[in-house]
């Protein structure tokens, strides 16, 4: 990337000014901000396409089917998981990574969520 290019401002500009993620990628590549391509992630039927800049929490251009926005796929996924927990009265086990009913917390569950008896 050229030294005089501000990556953050350029990504924010691309997310604001272009209609498709392909157009944003082409623009960013043309100014020396090279991604590893367009990738996607899904969670419970929701999909996100994003430009891969190498890290889960790197600022990037994203789309969830609507307008483009600047964000990270990691933040998007965490927000989707939080909303799922709230909407479904469930929690994501930090040990096994699965969702369980909040009102059916098993005996033996450590208060910090570090031990999941579902995975014995």
> In the chain, where are the structural domains located?
1-73
pLDDT of residue 108: 52
Q: What is the CA radius of gyration of the chain?
A: 18
pLDDT score, position 96: 74
Residues 76, 38, 26, 71, Cα dihedral to 10°: 10
Return the SS3 of 13. Answer: helix
Q: Is the Cα dihedral 52, 58, 62, 67 positive or negative?
A: negative
Q: What is the predicted pLDDT for the residue at 85?
A: 87
Tens digits of per-residue pLDDT, 98-120?
A: 777 776 665 555 555 555 655 55
In order of 4, 87, 108, the CA distances from 118 in angstroms are 53, 22, 10
**Average model confidence (pLDDT) across the chain:** 86
Cα–Cα distance for residue pair 27/89, rounded to 1 Å: 43
């Amino acid at each position: 990337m050229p030294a005089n290019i501000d990556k953050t401002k350029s990504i924010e500009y691309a997310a604001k000014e272009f209609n498709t993620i392909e157009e944003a990628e082409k623009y960013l590549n043309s100014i020396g901000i090279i991604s590893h391509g367009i990738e996607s992630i899904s969670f419970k039927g929701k999909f996100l396409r994003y430009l891969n800049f190498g890290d889960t929490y790197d600022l990037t251009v994203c789309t969830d089917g609507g307008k483009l926005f600047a964000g990270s796929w990691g933040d998007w996924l965490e927000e989707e998981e939080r909303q799922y927990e709230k909407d479904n009265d469930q929690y994501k086990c930090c040990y096994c990574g699965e969702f369980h009913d909040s009102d059916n917390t098993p005996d033996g569950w450590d208060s910090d969520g570090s031990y999941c008896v579902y995975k014995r």
